[in-house]
Amino acid sequence: MHLLVVAVALICLGLITGCERTTGGTVAMTTEPGPATTTRSTTTTSRPTTSVPTRTSPTSEVPAPPNASTMTCSEYSDLDEATQLAVLRAILADENTMFTGGSEEIAKTVADAMCQFLPDSTVRELLLGEPPP
């Protein structure tokens, strides 16, 4: 019986001391990528197509005002749509610009958007990146 008690005591002592022991060292770090966490889907998705917005209502051509090349955005914003297009045509007519022929709609979209934030700038400066002559 004494032998059994001593054996149980030694086993318990071994378990207690074994659980308290820590092993020194460092954690392994790797920079290699692991396996992919997602699987590839075999379904095909289509991308939406984009196009340049076009005007549905025709605008009659009107002559540009005399101050078209020096017009500020606040003045431009007060004009009707036909006169705004005339201002843009006058600015883009004889300039080397990224707006090629027929892209007045894009130039108008750019001018309308930028003029909301920079009302004291000239339309010419915003479209061409240069001050008026």
Q: Could you report the per-residue pLDDT of 32-70, keeping only the tens digit for each?
A: 776 766 655 555 555 555 555 555 445 568 888 989 888
Q: What is the chain's pLDDT, residue by residue, as a tens digit (133 residues)? A: 667 777 777 776 666 666 555 667 777 667 777 676 665 555 555 555 555 555 544 556 888 898 988 899 999 999 999 999 999 888 888 666 777 666 788 889 888 998 998 899 998 888 887 766 5
Is residue 119 within 8 A of residue 73, CB to CB? The reply is yes
What is the pTM assigned to this prediction? 0.53
- Tell me which residue of 62, 70, 51, 31 sits closest to 109, measured CA to CA: 51
Mean pLDDT, all residues of the chain: 75
End-to-end CA distance of the chain: 113
- Region of residue 129 (phi > 0: left; psi between -120 and 50: alpha; otherwise: beta): left
The encoded tokens of residue 100 equal 């090629």
